[in-house]
């Protein structure tokens, strides 16, 4: 099964996370944690070894999924600082604790790292929509019609002239084709 490893940064109310075990990162906006968008990915992480779960929870990941309307491979640009905080803590945990020989189940570290590396901030659609509405729509310019028949006839006549000239030259030299 191919899992989607996209995650969102979620601001936590005073009540904390549902699991209660995730370490909460603090930012200017308050307490935050990272939550996977896919329920299957969160489930795969819950079924990995306790050491793997600890590494993620200690870095600020919650083991519950979150609902998000963002497309795969994108995150909100305003999450940059918190996202970097959580990922730095995760990578520090992996280096310090290590994951070699641990049961990962369906959770694929390499795919997770690839998704983290390729994830991009979502472009601001509101600004793009304003630009589109301010520019007047112009109909596309009609393409010039190809004059393929005239071009082909001209090419054939030119080729015939060249062939006749070559044949006359050969005939004058005394060679026959």
Residues 117 and 152 grouped into a single domain: no
Residues 12 and 69 grouped into a single domain: yes
Residue 75: domain span: 7-122
Residues 87 and 156 grouped into a single domain: no
Q: Residues 6 or more apart from 118 whose CB is under 8 A from it? A: 73
Residues 13 and 50 grouped into a single domain: yes
Residues 48 and 113 grouped into a single domain: yes
Inside any domain, residue 130: no
Inside any domain, residue 177: yes
Residues 37 and 106 grouped into a single domain: yes
Inside any domain, residue 137: no
What is the C-alpha radius of gyration for the chain, rounded to an integer number of angstroms?
A: 32
Q: Is 145 exposed, middle or buried (0-12, 13-18, 19+ CB in 10 A)?
A: exposed
Q: How many folded domains does the chain comprise? A: 2
Instruction: Name the pTM for this structure.
Output: 0.61
**DSSP output for 38-94:** -HHHHHHHHTS-HHHHHHHHHHTEESS-----PPTTEE-GGGHHHHHHHHHHHHHHH
Identify whether the C-beta of residue 20 lies closer than 8 Å to the C-beta of residue 57: no
Q: pLDDT tens string for the chain (177 positions)? A: 678 888 888 887 655 544 444 455 555 556 788 999 889 989 998 998 899 899 999 988 988 998 888 888 888 888 888 889 889 998 898 889 888 878 788 888 888 888 888 888 888 755 444 444 555 566 667 766 666 788 888 889 999 999 999 989 888 888 665
């Amino acid at each position: 099964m191919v899992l989607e490893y996209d995650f969102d940064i979620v601001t936590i109310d005073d009540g904390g996370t549902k699991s209660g075990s995730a370490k909460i990162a603090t930012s200017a906006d308050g307490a935050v944690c990272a939550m996977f968008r896919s329920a299957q990915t969160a489930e795969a992480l819950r079924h990995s070894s306790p050491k793997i779960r600890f590494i993620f929870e200690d870095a600020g990941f919650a083991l519950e999924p979150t609902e998000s309307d963002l497309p795969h491979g994108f995150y909100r640009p305003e999450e940059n600082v918190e996202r970097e905080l959580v990922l730095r803590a995760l990578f520090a945990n992996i280096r310090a604790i290590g994951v070699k020989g641990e049961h990962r189940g369906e959770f694929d570290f390499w795919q997770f790292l690839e998704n983290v590396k390729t994830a991009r901030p979502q472009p601001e659609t509101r600004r793009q929509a304003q630009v589109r509405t301010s520019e007047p729509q112009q109909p596309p310019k009609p393409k010039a019609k190809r004059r393929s028949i005239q071009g082909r006839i001209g090419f054939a006549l030119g080729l015939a002239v060249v062939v006749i000239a070559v044949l006359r030259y050969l005939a004058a030299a005394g060679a026959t084709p």
